[in-house]
Amino acid sequence: MRRMASISPVALMMLGGLSACDVPPPANLPFAPAYEGVDTTLLDGDLVKFDVAMRGARSSEDVEDYARCAAAQYALIRGYGFARHLRTNVYEEGGLWRGDAVYTISPALPRGVRKIDAEVVSASCVENGIPMV
């Protein structure tokens, strides 16, 4: 029978295996994101790009949620009820997460798989404390 040794990240750091930057944060910290803003660019007619930035994201999904909330609110502001997600690029550097998302907005339910009902998504964003445009 093989036994595997378990070494804590701090002990591994002391042995020279990790730097202080490599030690993962404790898993029991509460989620406390800092939403740093949304820049909206109308690309063409109903095609809209949202650049979002935040700190404290747990993963790219948090950044995608932020962009989705911005798209939903933008659609409502423009008098539309729906949006269709085309793509989102997410990257993180130095603790700042950035997302670059593109959506189409429309008054009727669009075709496609990744569509959102702007009123439903906006209500969810309010409920979850995610700011919108």
Per the DSSP assignment, residues forming a β-bridge with 38 are 52
What lies within 8 Å, CB to CB, of 60 at 6+ separation is 90, 97, 99
Per-residue pLDDT tens over the stretch 22-53: 555 556 668 889 999 999 999 998 999 999 99
- Dihedral pair phi/psi, residue 65, rounded to 5°: -60, -40
- Dihedral pair phi/psi, residue 42, rounded to 5°: -80, 115
Average pLDDT over residues 69-80: 96
CATH number belonging to the domain at 32-128, selected among 3.30.70, 3.40.50, 1.10.1790, 1.10.3470: 3.30.70
Which stretches of the chain are assigned E, i.e. beta strand?
A: 34-44, 47-55, 82-93, 96-106, 115-117
Average pLDDT over residues 107-129: 90
Per-residue pLDDT tens over the stretch 45-60: 899 999 999 999 999 9
Instruction: Kindly report the pTM of this predicted structure.
Output: 0.76
Instruction: Kindly tell me the sign of the dihedral angle through the C-alpha atoms of 112, 90, 40, 56.
Output: positive
